[in-house]
Every structure is written in structure tokens, then in C-alpha cells.
Amino acid sequence: MEDISLSVSLRDRAGSGAAGRIRREGKIPAVIYGTSGSRNLSVERSAFVKVWRKAGHSSIVTIDDGAGFSTMSLIQSVQRNALTDEFMHIDFLELTKGHAITAQIPVHVTGTAVGVSSEGGVLDIQLHEVEVRCLPMNLPHQIDVDVSALKMGDVIHVKDLPAVDGVEYLGDAEAPVVAITHGAAEEPETTGEAETEVEIIKEKKTEESAS
């Protein structure tokens, strides 16, 4: 597991006024929640962007204020500006050694399925994340699923996912994760001849009705 760390600063003040001032300084207001309570933080925007790209919601991030406060955490949620996509606020979840956690872990598909390359099928990823429970140090960054052997109609369910030491898959064991399906059926094209034939038949019926 990659060691990902992030420098933070503890802050005393909360509220919209303090948060706005932090953002104007090029930082992001944040909070970390845990068994010991909550702490208000601020994070350098550029440093967080780098960590976010590596960790997402599924990797442990060690946050450290450089003055004695250091702990393992998960990025629980982020708030972003709907117009600019800028990070507005971060919630961290403090982790405790020896205490199991639950997390959503991304599914990473590898290989090219036989059903796609040789049988004209379509790879249908139905679950992009799966929920797991494990100790913090066993948390996988992603679940690798090799689809190379899948043929048309084959399905990988949650219960079929590869075993990872110390990790338990949660949710419906029968839920499909990846499947090889038939492509959408194409509608037959209407030819000009068929359209002309329909028009002739309509005209003939009109003439018969008139007589």
C-alpha cells in the first residue's frame, strides 16, 4: 500500500466567514471526525489536489500538522463549486488501528474479454465500486477484475470477485459487477423500394374505395 501523506493546519475558528478567508488564501477548509471528536483544519489547495488524484475515497491518507497531531484518515467527502469545480470543503474520517472500517472501493477491469474480441459482445460494467470491510492497513486501493476469459453471456458477481487478504465484500453477493452482453439490436433500414410499394398499395386502396 502506497504511503500517502498530507500536511494540514489546525484552525480554531469555524463558520462561513472563516472558511471564506481560508479559501482566499489558496487553502481549503476541512474537518476530521473520529472517536475523539472533531477538529477543524485547513489544507493547501495544490497539495490536496495531488493527494486526491492518488487517494480518492479509497486510500489511507496520513494527515500531519507538523506540531504533534498525526493520524490515518480517509477522504470521506468533498464539496465542490458547481460552476468552477473548485474544492470548497473536505471531510476526513479518522481511522483507528485495530478497528475495522467500511469503504467504497473502485473496480478496475483488466484484459479483453473473448466475448468482446471474438463474439461481438459488449463489456457491461454494472458496478463501478464495491463496498468492503477490513482493517485500515488492509484497505485495497482498487479491486482488479480480469475479464479475459469471459464469453458471451458470462457474468462476474460480487461473490466471484478475487479474494483479498483481510477484506470482506459487503452487499448483495449475487449483484452483477461485469457482464458480456449482446450489442443493441439495430433496426432494419426501410428501403426506398419498400416505401414506394407501401405508397402504391395505399393509392390502390384509395381508388377502390372511390369506385
| Mean pLDDT in residue range 186-204 | 51
For the cut 80, the answer to whether the pLDDT of residue 199 exceeds it is no
Domains of the chain: 4-94 (2.40.240.10), 101-181 (2.170.120.20)
In single-letter form, the type of residue at position 49 comes to: V
Q: How far is CA 142 from CA 131, 188, 200, in A?
A: 11, 42, 63
Q: How far is CA 65 from CA 41, 44, 57, 206, in A?
A: 9, 12, 21, 87
> Cα(137)–Cα(58) distance, rounded to whole angstroms?
12
Transcribe 89-142 into DSSP letters: EEEEEE--TT--EEEEEEEEEES--HHHHTT--EEEE--SEEEEEE-GGG--S-
For the cut 70, the answer to whether the pLDDT of residue 73 exceeds it is yes
Q: Label residue 209 exposed, middle or buried (CB < 10 Å: 0-12, 13-18, 19+).
A: exposed
Q: Tell which residue, 34, 32, 37, 36, has the closest CA to residue 11.
A: 32
Task: Provide the 10 A C-beta neighbour count for residue 21.
Answer: 14
Pure H helices in the chain: 16-24, 45-55, 114-117, 192-210
pLDDT per residue as tens digits for the range 10-30: 887 666 677 888 999 999 999
With b for 16 or more beta-carbon neighbours within 10 A and e for fewer, the 106-142 pattern comes to ebebeeebbbbeeeebeeeeebeebebebebebbbbe
> Cα(108)–Cα(140) distance, rounded to whole angstroms?
12
The pLDDT score that the predictor gives to residue 189 is: 53
Q: How confident is the model at residue 186 (pLDDT cuts 50, 70, 90)?
A: very low
pLDDT per residue as tens digits for the range 115-135: 999 999 999 999 999 999 999
> Cα(80)–Cα(88) distance, rounded to whole angstroms?
5
> Cα(181)–Cα(155) distance, rounded to whole angstroms?
9
